[in-house]
Structure 1
Amino acid sequence: REREREREREREKRLKRLKRVKKKQKRKKRKKKRKKEGKEEEEKEEKEEGKEEGKEKRKKKKEKA
């Protein structure tokens, strides 16, 4: 009887730990995803800025020529 109770307690501990770890992994994954999305947004903005700068440079070259 004592062993059964001990085994049950160990099982409970293991399950709780598993749940904690899974939660932590999910949180980490979400954070990574958010970070990646943010990076993509920044890259798009940088690309747009680059295009604008390129257009301005071309205009200046045309005016000089």
Structure 2
Amino acid sequence: MGKGDKKSKRGKIINGTYGAKRKRKIKRKPTLQEKINPEKKK
């Protein structure tokens, strides 16, 4: 359970992979409505 462990979060970070222990941040695409009216949110 460390840097070489493929199932731990630390092992996923070292290997550069993702899985159940290390989720990816989802990049949200702008909707059609946001493309038409690009208003800045504060």
TM-score when normalising by structure 1 = 0.26
Bigger radius of gyration: 1
